[in-house]
Amino acid sequence: MTRNALERLLRPRSIAVVGASPEPASVSGLLLTNIGRFDYGGDLHLVSRSRDEVNGKPCLKSIDDLPEGVDAAVLVVPQVAVYDSVEACGKRGVGGAIIFASGFSELGDEGRAAQDRLADMARGYGMALLGPNCMGFVNYSDHVPLTFEPVPARKTMTGPKVAIIAQSGAMNGNLRAGLTARGVNVSFSLSTGNEAVTSAEDLLSALIDADDVDAFAIFVEMLRKPALFLKAVARARALGKPVVLMHPGRSQRAREAAQSHTGALAGDYQVMRTLVEREGVVVVDTLDELFDVTAILARYPVPIQSGKAAVSSNSGALRGVAIDFCEDVGMELATLSPQTLTRINEILPDFVTADNPLDLTSQGMQRPEIFGLTAQAILDDPEVGSLIVPLMGGSPAQQVAKANSLLPVMIASQKPVAFCIMGDTAPLAEEFTRLVTESGMPFGRSPDRALRAMAHVHRYGQLNTASSERAAGDLGKKLPDLKPGPLVEYRGKAWLRDLGIKTPDGDLATSVEDALAVADRIGYPVVLKAQAAQLMHKSDVGGVAVNVRDADALRDAWSRMQDSIAAKCPGLVLDGILVEAMSRPGLEMVIGGRRDANWGVVMLVGLGGIWIEALHDVKLLPPDLTVPQIVSAMHTLKGAKLLSGLRGKGPVDVQAVGEAVARLAALMLANPEITEIDVNPLIALPEGEGVIALDALFVM
C-alpha cells in the first residue's frame, strides 16, 4: 500500500458502489443518500447484478465493467463475496476499497485466516483496504461521505480543522457528533474496523501534512504499528498539530513472560503511554476528556511554554472548589502580579478581593462588562498561561450579555481559554448558544470537566518542552555473545561495574575455603548469595545469607545454603556462591529497563527493595531522557520525600541514580539482545556519595 493509494481512498475523484440498492433503509441506500446529500462532485459508478438502474442512475453488472482506475470502491456485499470483489477491484486498478461486512477476525481463528488471506491479496494489488467490519468515513473537506451512518451535510466551517480516527465505528460517530455540535470544525471522521490492511497509524500518517487537518482526536484499542505511530506523532509535534489519544487498557495485566520487576510493572499500556507522551501526545483517560481537550487544543494548538492557570467566576463557592480540584489534577494556579491586581481592583467594587481564583460576586448582573474586562486583565498577566471562566448564567438576557462581554476577549486570546455556564442541563438561551457555537470557543456546562481538560492542555505544553530535550545518541557499549536467557548475577554485576555503577566488594567462591579467603580480604560482615542463571529468586530457596559476622558463621551459612538448594532445587548446579561486603545503609531503589516487542525500550526507576512489592511506586521513562529529566521524574514518585531526606536524614544522591538509569538505557539501545534489566535494590547513598547495586538481573 502506497501513500498514493491512501490519498485516492480518502480523497476519491471517482467512486464505485458495489451492491447498489434503492431501498432507503438498506446499507447501500443509506450510503447513496449520504453521497447525494453531500453533493459529491466526482464520478459515481453503481454496480448491481440484479438491477439495471438505481434512483435513475444506470448500473453496471460487474466490477469487471468498471472503467480502469476508479479511486475508491465501497463494497456493500456479504462476507462470502468480499474476497472475489476485492480481487476484481485489484484487477481493475481500484485505489482503495471499504468493506462494511463483518465475519472476519472478530469471529476467531477461522475468520482471522480469511482476513489474512484478504489482506495478502489486497497488498498484492497495492490497495488501501479500510475494514472489514468498519463503518467507513466522512471527508467533509472534499464532500465525501462513504458511510452508511446517516450523516447530515454541513456548511463549510471556519476555524481549526480536526481529524477523528477511531477503530470503533460507533465511537467515531460519537466523537464526530459531539465535536461538531460544539462548533469544532471536523474535516475527517474515519473508522478503521478490523484494520486488515489500513490501520489508524496509516491514516494518521496520511493526514499529518494535510492542510485541512490541524489537530487529531484518536480512539484506539490497539496500536498495531507502534513504530509508524511514533514517527507520525513526532511529525505532528514538529508541525504544531496536537494529537489527543484515548486508548482503553490501562488496567491490562502485565505480560506473563516478564522475568523481572521491571518486566512485570511495565505493562503494554504503560509502555505505550510512556513513549507516545515523549512525542507530545496527550493521553486522556475518559471520553469527556477526549471531547474537551480536543476542543481546546484545536482552538489553541500552541503549547503553553510558561504560565499557570487562572479561574474567574461569579460564584464565590466555586473558588474553594477550583482550588481543591486544581490540586487534585496537578494544575498550578498563577499568582497574579501587583499590576494585574490593581487593574482588577479598578474594575470591581472595593468589597471584592482580587485574587486567583477570582470571585466576581453578583456585580455582573448590573455591569456585564466586568466579565470581559477582568478576563482581559488576567490574560494580560505574564504569569497566566490559561483562563477558565465558569459562570452562573442567569436569565436569557444576562446569558447573552455575558457572551457579548467575554467572547471578543476569548476570541482574541492567544492563551487557552474555556468558558462554562453552570447549571448542568438547564436550558440556555438560543441566542447565547448561537453566539458561543459561532465563536468556536471551547464551551461546556461542567467546571470540573473544564478544569481537568485545561490541566491536560498545560501538560501538553510540558510534554512539548520535554520532547525538545533529548539525551545524546547511542553511546552504549556493544557486548559480545549474548546468549538467550537470564544472566547470572555476578556476571551482570561485572557489566554494571564496567558501566561505572558501583557494586559491593567481593568475589565468586566455589568452595568454603575460597569463601573464607574472600571474606578475610574484604572484611566481615559479609553476604552470601548462591549463583546460577536458573536461580531467579534466590531468597525463596535459601540462597541468601546476610550479616555473616565471622568464619564460623560463614561455614555454617555455606553448609545450610548448599543443603537448602539441594533439597528445593534438585539437580541444580551452582556456578558458586558470591561473597560480598555488607553495603552501607541508604535508600533502597530499583532501576531497570524492558524491551517491548512492539514499542522498544522503556526504562524504570522507583522505590526498591520491599517497597516495590508493597507500593509499586515506580515511573516508566523513555530511553532518551537526559539525566536532569530522569531526576525530575524521580521527584514525581509518591515517595519522593524520601529522596530529599526525612526525620533527620539528608538527601540521597539522585544525580547518581539518574546517571545509572541513563547508562543502562544506553546499554540497552546498543544491545538489542537485552530484553530486561532489573537492578534491585540499588542503594542511593547520601548526596554526592553515589550508588551501590546490590543485585542485578539481565535477561537476553
Question: pLDDT, tens digit, for every residue of 294-341?
Answer: 999 999 999 999 899 999 999 989 998 999 999 999 999 999 999 999
- Which residues in the chain come in under a pLDDT of 70? 1, 250-267, 474-475, 611, 613
Strand spans (E) along 488-540: 506-509, 526-531
Residue whose C-alpha is closest to residue 135's, from 88, 101, 182:
101
Q: Which residues contact 651 (CB under 8 A, 6 or more apart)?
A: 643, 644, 645, 686, 687
CB contact at 8 A, 314 and 486: no
Residue 358 in grid coordinates: 477570582
CB-side neighbour CA atoms (13 Å) of 614: 7
Whole-angstrom CA distances from 286 to 181, 249, 312, 514 are: 19, 12, 25, 61
CB contact at 8 A, 635 and 643: yes
Residue type (1 letter), 323: I
Classify residue 561 as exposed, middle or buried by CB count within 10 Å of its CB (0-12, 13-18, 19+).
buried
Q: Which domains does the chain have, with CATH numbers?
A: 1-153 (3.40.50.720), 155-301 (3.40.50.261), 303-468 (3.40.50.261), 505-581 (3.30.1490.20), 587-699 (3.30.470.20)
Q: Residue 544 pairs with which residues in a beta bridge? A: 529
Whole-prediction pTM: 0.92
Residue 340 in grid coordinates: 494585574
Whole-angstrom CA distances from 366 to 354, 402, 422 are: 19, 11, 19
Rounded to an integer, what distance in angstroms lies between the CA atom of residue 277 and that of residue 282? Answer: 6
Residue whose C-alpha is closest to residue 521's, from 504, 505, 544, 503:
505
For 162, list phi and psi in degrees, rounded to 5. Answer: -115, 135
Residue type (1 letter), 253: R
Which of helix, strand or coil describes residue 683?
strand
Length of the chain counted residue by residue: 700
Predicted pLDDT at 536 = 82
Does residue 681 have a cis bond before it (omega within 30 degrees)?
Answer: yes
Whole-angstrom CA distances from 215 to 184, 297, 412, 532 are: 11, 8, 20, 53
Predicted pLDDT at 481 = 83
Q: Are strands 137-139 and 144-146 parallel, antiparallel or unpaired?
A: antiparallel
Residue whose C-alpha is closest to residue 262's, from 503, 487, 596, 530:
596
Does residue 357 have a cis bond before it (omega within 30 degrees)?
Answer: yes
Whole-angstrom CA distances from 571 to 373, 543, 618 are: 82, 15, 37
Rounded to an integer, what distance in angstroms lies between the CA atom of residue 88 and that of residue 84? Answer: 6
Residue whose C-alpha is closest to residue 309's, from 356, 364, 372:
356
Predicted pLDDT at 474 = 64
CB contact at 8 A, 195 and 167: yes
Residue 93 in grid coordinates: 486498478
Sheet holding 358-359, edge to edge: 358-359, 308-313, 384-392, 417-422, 443-444
CB-side neighbour CA atoms (13 Å) of 297: 36
Predicted pLDDT at 423 = 93
| CA distance between the termini of the chain | 35
Rounded to an integer, what distance in angstroms lies between the CA atom of residue 110 and that of residue 266? Answer: 32
Rounded to an integer, what distance in angstroms lies between the CA atom of residue 212 and that of residue 66? Answer: 31
CB contact at 8 A, 336 and 310: yes
Residue whose C-alpha is closest to residue 182's, from 37, 284, 296:
296
Sheet holding 243-246, edge to edge: 144-146, 137-139, 185-191, 161-166, 215-219, 243-246, 282-284
**Residue 699: how many other CB atoms lie within 10 Å:** 24
Residue type (1 letter), 474: D
**Residue 68: how many other CB atoms lie within 10 Å:** 8
Residue type (1 letter), 408: P
DSSP code of 299? H
Predicted pLDDT at 250 = 67
For 498, list phi and psi in degrees, rounded to 5. Answer: -65, -25
For 608, list phi and psi in degrees, rounded to 5. Answer: -110, -155
CB contact at 8 A, 338 and 383: no
Whole-angstrom CA distances from 578 to 503, 511, 569, 680 are: 12, 11, 18, 16
